[in-house]
Chain A
């Protein structure tokens, strides 16, 4: 198991029963590592679509002079989806959890693993 796969597994374990999916995605929209609790979940579609969201959010934040984007948190009636830039912004970490998750804890896990995941990405 690669270091990235280990970290992805650790993120899943930290989230526990509320885990839905996690992906490490390049800004080309392609996932380089990830896993999902739902075998029917289309991780590649989610990665590509949220890469577009991350790109547009960068442009929007720049145009309204609100600084550099750290993350996006989307709340639906089913899930929380957090997408957070890694390192120099060439990758993002996407995590989906159920609405039963403790949001503060989920953000803390993202904070804790973001640097480790960035360092583990092969270059």
Chain B
């Protein structure tokens, strides 16, 4: 059965995330004013996108910016072509980064400041205070980190991208259920604790990953609260 809705209630990133994690074969029809586009899914990946006279990644990137309009997710539709081979999570992150850069370019607030350096100093200090420390970052809800610090060869960018996808779904879930405004999210695995604490404006979060065997949850939450406040003060408002 097809799923229908409005893009201002369920955005394209969330729809992509849903269709891909469910491993659906489907066509997502998008309607934005008098414009139409379709994104096709197969086996948990985006395989084709068509908009106007464009196909492939470029078509996907263009419709990713639509925040108004309607959608229909039609199951069991085979893609008419295969124009996309990039993993969906990468495609989503690249698309959101493009959107972010375009938005930034179109505003007049570009100025030099040393914010990332200051925040990185705070994160380095955090790393020295938390037992079992693996990595930390201050990350936007677009999945892009503005500052990070890690031990060893930990891939902070990958953690940022993946954990942002997860916390966005958690955020949508709590809002839809009327369970309040999310303050933090802790993912516990057999190896690690990953704690994401939202910062004041809710567009950024402080993420901390620690080795589960070398840390305690109380200490982690305490340090997260302390350093969230310091990062909040360092962020430009």
Contact = CB atoms under 8 A, between A and B. Distances in A.
A74 B21 contact: no
Nearest to B164: A60
Contact of A53 (B163, B170, B180, B188): B170
Given A50-B173, A60-B165, A64-B155, A72 B179 contact: no
Interface string A49-68: 11011011101110110111
Mostly, the A contact residues are: mixed
Interface in A31-90: 42, 45-46, 49-50, 52-53, 55-57, 59-61, 63-64, 66-79, 81
Interface of B: 17-18, 21, 89, 155, 158-159, 162-163, 165-166, 169-170, 173-174, 176-177, 179-192, 194, 209, 217-218
11 contacts: A45-B176, A49-B173, A53-B169, A57-B187, A60-B162, A72-B188, A73-B185, A74-B186, A75-B183, A76-B182, A77-B180
A102 B177 CA distance: 23
A66 B177 contact: no
Interface of A: 42, 45-46, 49-50, 52-53, 55-57, 59-61, 63-64, 66-79, 81, 96, 104, 107
Of all A-B residue pairs in the complex, the 5 with the closest CB atoms, nearest first, are A78-B180, A76-B180, A67-B191, A67-B189, A73-B186
Given A50-B173, A56-B165, A70-B188, A64 B159 contact: yes
A74 B176 contact: no
Contacts of B163: 60, 64
Nearest to B175: A76
Nearest to B197: A75
Contacts of B181: 76-77
